Amino acid sequence: MDLERSSGVLLHPTSLPGKYGVGTFGTEAYEWIDILEKTQQTLWQILPLGPTSYGDSPYQSSSTFAGNPYLISLDQMVSEGLLRRELLVEALGSTEFRANPDEVDFGALYNWKLPLLRRAAAEFQAQTSSPLQEEYQKFCRENKEWLEDYALYCALKKKFEDKAWTEWPEPYRLRQTKALQEARQELAPEIYASTFIQWVFERQWSKLRAYANAKGIKIIGDLPIFVAMDSADAWTNAHLFQFDKDLTPTHVAGVPPDGFSPDGQLWGNPLYDWEKMAKEDYAWWIRRLQAALKRQDLVRIDHFRGFAAYWSVPYGQKTARQGRWIKAPGQKFFKVIQKKLGNQLPIIAEDLGVITPDVVKLRDSFQFPGMKILQFAFGSDAQNQYLPHNYQQNCIAYTGTHDNNTARGWYEEDAPEYDKDFVRRYFSTDGWDIAWTLIRGVFSSVAQMAIVPMQDLLSLGSEGRMNYPGRARGNWAWRYRREMLTEHILWRLSEMTATYGREREKKAAEPDPVYEEAVKAAAKAADK
């Protein structure tokens, strides 16, 4: 992938400001893109856009192809005639509605927003003369391969009180033809609602992405290597996973024990049957990547090392200790992907953690840029691969990620004294402005791309953390308020972008408006 020297911000759409309890694809999203343009950024990195379920993690989605209904802008639906304002007002008056500007209440969204979208779907279905009906039907035809099964999966989930598909009655769990035919008739309204919601999601996101691209901003998406056990993907394509004849997993995903986790991490995702996938020429993966690249310009693949080898844990184990490494198709897989999608694959490899030579070889064979996290740089010596002077150009440099504490939170609460001392010596700093010290570190490096989490731009402490890995609940909820992003912060970002040659237009940075006002005030005071 031919990367230009550039920079951008990591911010999931749920974290955007807005009045309905969650960030959406509405006005605030377009304003955010304008901010990126104003500050000379050319990259917007997001987390996976799929529907979330228990735990609210975008990395455990009920579908790798579907979109998250919570991100739909209700005001945009009203303006386009897809939602009556009276229905919206009624929903906002319900006891379930929550509008906390600082964090997302996913439970409240489930109880008020999803029913509202279903009511909008029912009304749209009755509007046979709507000029948008043809567009909706076209969407259904073009996405039939995954949409019909996903909509049926959602309807059955509702029918069986949100139980996982592995707990459904056998005829539905095993996808027996007669049972599914009867379900499609019985649950037709619910099925229609899901297809309608997905259409609205796709048309809103497509418009937002087109707006970003027109402003010279590329979207970096995120694709977990594995899918969730309770997902339409696993239920619909069970033959491609390591299941027995009753569709019970034989082995599941995780990572081995290490210095941070003596029992390892038992993720529980179903593992692929790579031999069966190879016999189908990796068709499912090709569809998955095509769908991802239809929505995003570049795709970061989470846990990239799983393409070289994966940690396989026998199903039923309480920890990941009893697992073992199993070789994955690696080179063969990506050669097929190249043949189908082109040689210049816009893929970023998440290559963090303990990376073995086979993973490095796989990444470099296809020239995928890896990731460098500055927070990881200060625990050893000058040879640490995450220190900026050791970077290679073909990488993406980050101050931190969604799984880390914020830069300030890390420095103030997590970093050992040795690491803090190393930071102070490395950057010749007293640690006072630590977030922007680290931002300068990644922006000034040779890395072709530099990405900063929004929380670090705002110099937030651990109160701004997005995710605590291993914690089941209470993650992914952080949001920012528009007034937090001051003109001074925007100037600092623009100035640093220009200083280190990452700007879109090569020009000198504008003077700091805060500094200019201070100079004027000082001059007036001197005159008096």
Give 6's Cβ-side CA count (13 Å radius): 20
Nearest to 472 by CA among 176, 152, 77, 60: 60
350 counts as catalytic: yes
- Annotated catalytic residue within 105, 297, 403, 512: 403
Backbone φ, ψ for residue 506 (5° rounding):
-75, 100
- Helix (H), strand (E) counts: the chain: 20, 12
Q: CA 26, CA 518: separation in Å to the nearest integer? A: 36
Beta strand extents in 168-260 (DSSP E only): 218-224, 251-255
134 counts as catalytic: no
- Annotated catalytic residue within 56, 230, 233, 350: 350
DSSP 293-312: HHH-SEEEEETGGGGTEEEE
Q: Which amino acid is at 367?
A: Q
List Cα–Cα distances, 435 to 154, 195, 256, 429, in angstroms: 42, 43, 32, 12
Q: CA 466, CA 15: separation in Å to the nearest integer? A: 9
Give 304's Cβ-side CA count (13 Å radius): 28
**411 DSSP assignment:** I
What is the chain's Cα-based Rg?
24
The dihedral of CA 42, 47, 51, 56: what is its sign?
Answer: negative
Q: CA 301, CA 222: separation in Å to the nearest integer? A: 6
Q: Which residue has the tokens 């919570």?
A: 70
- Annotated catalytic residue within 302, 456, 495, 503: 302
**113 DSSP assignment:** H
Backbone φ, ψ for residue 223 (5° rounding):
-130, 110
Question: Is the separation of the CB atoms in 253 and 268 below 8 Å?
Answer: yes
List Cα–Cα distances, 353 to 148, 307, 371, 460, in angstroms: 38, 15, 11, 25
The dihedral of CA 250, 253, 256, 259: what is its sign?
Answer: negative
Catalytic residues: 302, 350, 403
